[in-house]
Amino acid sequence: MSKYVLLDANLLIGAFDHDISNAKHIESKQIVESLLLDNDVKIAITPLIRYEVLRGVRRVPIESMVEILNDFEEFEITDVEGNRASEIYRLAISKDQKLDKRSFDLFHYVVAEIRDLEWMSQDNDLSKIASLAKPIIEGQI
């Protein structure tokens, strides 16, 4: 049985727009290559991840990157995910927790949580988002 792994833009950019002098890019390339070789894994993205990747790549022609992204399963972001993300953001503000309102990581987290996807990112705020989201996900708020 296959599992879906939602990859954040930073991993995809590092893997495909690879800078051999960048340690994070080297790590990203290794992670993505191992996932691509695993027959039990399907890589997932969202339209927001597509946007972030296409605006972030510098060394790969956009047409080539679009072809790569088209090979991945793309999960839409609906009102369900939007509403959940806004709940978590409002909760963070009420607890004086800072979340970058311009970052899409909260949307990525919510898509992964609602769609039962594993989410992989090199961002540091994943654990912060998860701890803020926990009471909402568990229906305690």
To which H or E segment does residue 118 belong? strand 118-120
The per-residue pLDDT string of the chain (141 residues; one tens digit each, 9 = 90 and over) reads: 789 999 999 999 999 998 889 899 999 999 999 999 999 999 999 999 999 999 999 999 999 999 999 999 999 999 999 999 888 888 888 877 777 766 788 888 899 999 999 989 887 666 677 777 776 666 665
Name the burial class of residue 60, with classes exposed (0-12), middle (13-18) and buried (19+) by CB atoms within 10 angstroms of its CB. middle
Q: Are 30 and 43 in contact (CB under 8 A)?
A: no
Residue 91 corresponds to which tokens in the numbers above? Answer: 């909760």
Q: What is the length of the chain?
A: 141
Q: Are 108 and 81 in contact (CB under 8 A)?
A: no
